């Protein structure tokens, strides 16, 4: 893009090789990395992205990069990589790790707790009874 009122006025646009740009985008390079590789400022990359052809090259490159990654992941899955199978299942198929424990016939788990006081001494039973009386607000049991 050139600026100014006169035809040809302003700074000349720095040429950017769109094939090189697409290759960088396939590698999922950041704008900062692209600018550094191409020898231009970050501002130049951001301004050029406003041009439809430039933006399309970047979009297409990023999409191709995603496909390359997905292809590699699927290759790992096909080779029997269980970790990759779990990861792809979670990220692509919405699967999740969840464990649900249920009781009989899908109902809640039943628990039963009975205290065995047979091994307590008479004194220990009195202390326990006094503690329970204080907690419950009731007299002797």
Query: Is the pLDDT confidence value at 87 over 80?
Result: yes
List the chain domain ranges: 18-79
Token representation of residue 67? 């496909």
Mean pLDDT of 54-81: 92
Q: Which residues contact 41 (CB under 8 A, 6 or more apart)?
A: 35
Query: Is the pLDDT confidence value at 64 over 90?
Result: yes
Query: Is the pLDDT confidence value at 41 over 80?
Result: yes
Dist CA 120 CA 77 (whole Å)? 61
Mean pLDDT of 100-128: 85
| pTM to 2 decimal places | 0.56
Confidence of residue 47 (pLDDT cuts 50, 70, 90): very high
The pLDDT value recorded for residue 141 is: 54
Mean pLDDT of 115-140: 86
């Amino acid at each position: 893009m050139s600026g100014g009122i006169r035809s040809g006025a302003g700074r000349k646009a720095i040429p950017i090789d769109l094939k090189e740009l697409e290759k960088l985008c396939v590698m999922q390079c950041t704008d900062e990395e692209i600018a550094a590789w191409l020898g231009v400022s970050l501002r130049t990359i951001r301004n050029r992205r406003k041009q439809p052809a430039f933006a399309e090259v970047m979009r297409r490159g990023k999409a191709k990069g995603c496909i390359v990654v997905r292809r590699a992941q699927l290759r790992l899955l096909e080779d029997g990589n269980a970790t990759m199978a779990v990861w792809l299942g979670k990220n692509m198929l919405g699967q999740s790790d969840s464990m649900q424990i249920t009781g009989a016939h899908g109902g809640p788990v039943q628990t039963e707790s009975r205290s065995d006081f047979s091994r307590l001494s008479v004194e220990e039973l009195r202390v326990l009874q006094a503690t329970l009386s204080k907690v419950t607000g009731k007299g002797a049991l």
